[in-house]
Structures are given as structure tokens and as C-alpha cells.
């Protein structure tokens, strides 16, 4: 029988998987070889988290599916991640701002989920808190370096904040997915995390001589309902191509 919080687990797993895919695109493209490795390792942390969550999801949603089924054999409308994680790779400043936001949210959300009534979810969240703190610190150090660096790096960080702005509100939207999980005593409402997350981010940006995340007349919505931007289709086509071209293959 499907558990009420299965959609939440799917959403968290999809957030991690899709962002891991984006971070992997920086390998050989980051400003220095150490950063190739750093972003790659952060992506691997997220991939490991996604695998654990998909394993849990297979028992919660009553399908018995495995991680490959969820990653490779679902279509775009079946994914439940937020829009920010699927956006195409831009310059390095954009990635640092995105990582700062995503990891700051992960720290707060996973800390709350570590006391979840679902023991397996709590276990995954407890491990993720430690990883996410490292991810957040890595983003913080780069934000300080770039924001308070050269005129050019500062300009690019300002542009990155403007590019990210339309996707921030969705991160803290209380959708039916989160509400159902909270009603079941398992989840946490994103709106309750907003002050802590944005407070940390704003402090980092102020220290980096940046004015903060600007307001935006545009805003993304619908990711938790399977409504995605054009970028998602291209990302999934690349990620799923090999598995779908050779179904059943093993290596």
C-alpha cells in the first residue's frame, strides 16, 4: 500500500539526481582541476543520496521499483524536482550561487527530516546533513572569493544572482507533496525553512560585498507537479540515452 509521504521521497530523490547530473557537467570545465574534483564529488554525494531515497521509494509507493527504474525509465512529467536544479550550466558564478542556495536548503531540510517518523528517511537525512554542510561551506568560500574579488568576478556574481532569482520562491513553496508528508508526521514544510536558509545566504552575500538575491517579477512553479522547463527534456535525453538504447544491458 502506498504511503502518504512517497511523493516527498520522490521529490527529494529527484532534486538530488538532477542536480548531480548538472554538477557532473563541470568535470573538465571548472576554473581549475581541483574544482573539477570538488564539484564532481559533491555530485557523487547527491547521487548517493538519490540512490538511497529511490531504494526507500520502491517500498513506499508499492511498485517495488529500483533506482534504475526511477532514473532511466520515467518520462519528464513523472519527475518532481524543483526548476532551479534543472537549469542549464551557465558560468561558474551561477553555479556557486545555485549551490549556495541548494545546499543551504538541504542543511535545514535534512536537519528537520533527521527526526522524521520514517526511520529510513531519517537515516538518509542524518547522513545528508553532514554532506550538505560541506557543500554549503564550499559554496560560501567561493562566493566570498568571487563577490569580493575582481571587478569582473563581482559583476558576474551580480548577474548570477539575477539569473537565479526567479527560481527562489519555488524552493519554499508548500505544495500538496509537503503538506501530505507533514500530515503523516514525516515531512517538513519548506515555508518554515525560508528564514533560516535565506538568512544564512544573505549573510554570506553581504560578507562577499553583494547586495543579496534580488526580487524578480518572474517566478518558477510546478516542478513538484511534474511541470518543467525546456531544459529538463534535454537533460533527461542525455542522462537516459544509454539505458534506453540498450535496455536490459549490464556491465
**Domain ranges (residues) in the chain:** 6-245
Task: Tell me the C-alpha distance between 101 and 190, whole Å.
Answer: 13
Q: Does the predicted TM-score (pTM) go above 0.85? A: yes
Q: What is the pLDDT along the chain (251 residues), one digit of tens a residue?
A: 468 899 999 999 999 999 999 999 999 999 999 999 999 999 999 999 999 999 999 999 999 999 999 999 999 999 999 999 999 998 999 999 999 999 999 999 999 999 999 999 999 999 999 999 999 999 999 999 999 999 999 999 999 999 999 999 999 999 999 999 999 999 999 999 999 999 999 999 999 999 989 988 889 999 999 999 999 999 999 999 999 999 988 77
Assigned CATH for 6-245: 1.20.1260.10
Task: Tell me the C-alpha distance between 69 and 82, whole Å.
Answer: 20
Separation in Å, CA 117 to CA 11, 99, 182: 18, 28, 10
Q: Determine the pLDDT at residue 248.
A: 85
Could you tell me the three cell numbers for 130?
553532514
Task: Tell me the C-alpha distance between 213 and 149, whole Å.
Answer: 18
Amino acid at each position: 500500500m502506498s504511503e502518504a509521504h512517497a511523493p516527498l521521497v520522490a521529490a527529494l530523490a529527484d532534486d538530488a539526481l538532477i542536480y548531480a547530473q548538472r554538477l557532473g557537467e563541470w568535470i573538465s570545465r571548472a576554473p581549475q582541476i581541483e574544482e573539477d574534483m570538488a564539484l564532481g564529488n559533491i555530485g557523487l554525494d547527491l547521487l548517493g543520496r538519490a540512490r538511497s531515497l529511490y531504494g526507500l521509494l520502491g517500498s513506499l509507493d508499492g511498485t517495488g521499483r529500483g533506482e534504475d527504474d526511477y532514473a532511466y525509465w520515467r518520462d519528464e512529467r513523472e519527475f518532481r524536482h524543483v526548476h532551479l536544479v534543472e537549469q542549464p550550466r551557465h558560468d561558474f558564478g551561477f553555479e556557486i550561487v545555485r549551490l549556495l542556495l541548494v545546499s543551504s536548503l538541504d542543511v535545514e531540510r535534512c536537519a528537520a527530516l533527521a527526526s522524521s517518523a520514517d526511520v529510513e528517511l531519517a537515516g538518509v537525512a542524518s547522513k545528508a546533513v553532514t554532506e550538505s554542510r560541506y557543500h554549503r561551506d564550499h559554496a560560501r568560500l567561493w562566493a566570498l572569493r568571487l563577490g569580493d574579488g575582481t571587478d569582473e568576478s563581482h559583476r558576474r556574481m551580480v548577474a548570477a544572482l539575477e539569473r537565479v532569482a526567479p527560481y527562489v520562491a519555488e524552493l519554499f513553496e508548500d505544495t500538496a507533496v509537503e503538506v501530505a508528508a507533514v500530515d503523516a508526521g514525516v515531512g517538513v514544510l519548506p515555508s518554515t525553512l525560508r528564514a533560516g536558509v535565506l538568512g544564512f545566504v544573505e549573510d554570506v552575500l553581504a560578507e562577499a560585498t553583494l547586495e543579496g538575491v534580488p526580487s524578480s517579477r518572474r517566478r518558477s512553479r510546478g516542478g513538484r507537479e511534474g511541470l518543467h522547463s525546456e531544459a529538463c527534456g534535454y537533460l533527461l535525453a542525455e542522462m537516459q540515452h544509454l539505458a534506453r538504447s540498450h535496455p536490459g544491458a549490464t556491465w
